Amino acid sequence: MPQKKKRIAILTGGGDCPGINAVIRAVAKKAMLECGLEVVGIEDGFDGLIRGRHQKLDRGDVSGLLTLGGTILGTSNTSDPYRYAERSSGRLVFKDVSKKVAANVRALGVEALVCIGGDGTLGIAARLWGDGVPIVGIPKTIDNDLRGTDVTFGFDTAVSIATEAIDRVHSTAQSHHRAMIVEVMGRRAGWIALYAGVAGGGDIILIPEIPYVLDAVAAKVKERKKRGRRFSIVVIAEGTKARGGEAVVRKIVEKSADPVRFGGVGFVLGEQLEKAAGTEARTVVLGHLQRGGSPTAADRILATQLGAKAVEAVMAGEFGRMVAVRGGMIVTVPLEKAAGGPRTVPLDHPLITAARALGTSFGDEA
């Protein structure tokens, strides 16, 4: 009687991100071709494990995914099995359904669950590992704010998209003598704003790690005017706040594990700047444009490396680990590292130092 093939499952959770499909492709192809494993795709993140929705993947399902944005498996950022939202008597209640998830994983008969996600997804994965579910994590976020890894896939693509947007607003800013404010993603960490701001030649870069002073931002705009530069480019991360103030909250999603949705700080700053600097201001919010479309070559390569390494970790029985980039090497680290809070931009980061030396303002001079 032929021996039944071993199998693994793949899950993608949290926000979508360029390169997820490239990771799915790498995990599935290596598992099938080199290791002889069956591969099961869990639909819509942990919601699929809670509700028992999954599909068997074959080689045809994962071919042609390298350049495709999004995730073929679907995702969810509101399905924490330890705090699962359900309606009861017309109100929202939260239940712990983690035991059901663990039972469903066992029922699938998989050797391991490969979780692709950010700090929320991998934080849940770490808890499930503690509850006995064999898990390997893969770091995913455009924000690049996961602890335990030097870089996450999706970040390079987001920076490229944001940089192109900054390039494009330069001409209209110069033509109309305006301050153009480009709001990029970055709830708690300013990696996208910093890298895209420097790459796009931003005159002022505002990040969550450095609360801004309005007078300092206005002073930079006025100083440029005196030198005959009658326009300014401001790049601001969505989670940035004024010194002594609060971040601008767009809405609250009650059933989400991370309910606060930032956004709109660019419009607030624009109104303030018009009064403080006496200049016309316009704001562009990039939002989910940064998440969409085909990944860059760098993200395709990184996604392939991380996916392949995850399968190696599964075969070696290295569960409760996350594959990561450390010092240019692809390694594994404990899942708990990813759940240890955001990896913020250090105030002495070399790119901040270099940008300041070239005259870039970070809004903290006053």
The pLDDT value given to residue 255: 60
Q: Which of 76-80, 93-97, 328-332 has the highest mean pLDDT?
A: 328-332
The pLDDT value given to residue 257: 60
Query: Quick check: 174 pLDDT over 90?
Result: no
**Cβ–Cβ < 8 Å for 190, 209:** yes
Average pLDDT over residues 117-134: 93
Cβ-based burial of 39 (10 A; exposed 0-12, middle 13-18, buried ≥19): buried
- Look at 101-105, 181-185, 244-248 and tell me which has the smallest mean pLDDT: 244-248
Average pLDDT over residues 76-90: 84
The pLDDT value given to residue 261: 64
Catalytic residue numbers read 143
> pLDDT tens for residues 269-285?
999 999 888 888 898 99
Query: Quick check: 253 pLDDT over 60?
Result: no
**CATH number for the domain formed by residue range(s) 7-153+295-338:** 3.40.50.450
CA distances from 231 to 60, 204, 225, 364 (A): 52, 12, 7, 20
Q: What does the alpha-carbon distance between residue 70 and residue 68 come to, in Å, rounded to a whole number?
A: 7
The pLDDT value given to residue 254: 60
Report the candidate in 33, 7, 3 with the shortest Cα–Cα distance to residue 111. 7
Query: Quick check: 350 pLDDT over 80?
Result: yes
Report the candidate in 146, 250, 228, 233 with the shortest Cα–Cα distance to residue 181. 233
Average pLDDT over residues 67-89: 87
Report the candidate in 306, 255, 251, 238 with the shortest Cα–Cα distance to residue 12. 306
**Cβ–Cβ < 8 Å for 251, 221:** no
**Of all helices (H) and strands (E), which one includes residue 308?**
helix 297-315
**Of all helices (H) and strands (E), which one includes residue 193?**
helix 191-199
* pTM of the shown model: 0.92
Q: What does the alpha-carbon distance between residue 158 and residue 210 come to, in Å, rounded to a whole number?
A: 21
Domains of the chain, residue spans? 7-153+295-338, 156-292
Residues 6+ apart with CB under 8 A from 111: 6, 7, 8, 37, 134, 314
Domain 156-292: give its CATH architecture: 3-Layer(aba) Sandwich (3.40)
Average pLDDT over residues 179-195: 93
Query: Quick check: 260 pLDDT over 80?
Result: no
Query: Quick check: 176 pLDDT over 70?
Result: yes
Residues 6+ apart with CB under 8 A from 301: none
Confidence class for position 322, pLDDT limits 50, 70, 90: very high
Where are the extended beta strands (E) located within 38-83?
38-42, 54-57
Instruction: Quote the tokens at residue 1.
Output: 């009687």
Q: What does the alpha-carbon distance between residue 193 and residue 240 come to, in Å, rounded to a whole number?
A: 10
* pLDDT above 90: percentage of residues in the chain: 70
Q: What does the alpha-carbon distance between residue 276 and residue 278 come to, in Å, rounded to a whole number?
A: 6
What phi, psi does 229 have (nearest 5°)? -95, 95
Tell me if 7-153+295-338 shares its fold with 156-292.
yes
Sheet holding 232-237, edge to edge: 204-206, 232-237, 179-184, 281-285
The pLDDT value given to residue 1: 46
Confidence class for position 290, pLDDT limits 50, 70, 90: confident
Query: Average pLDDT over the chain, rounded to whole?
Result: 90
Query: Quick check: 358 pLDDT over 90?
Result: yes
- Look at 148-152, 182-186, 306-310, 339-343 and tell me which has the smallest mean pLDDT: 339-343
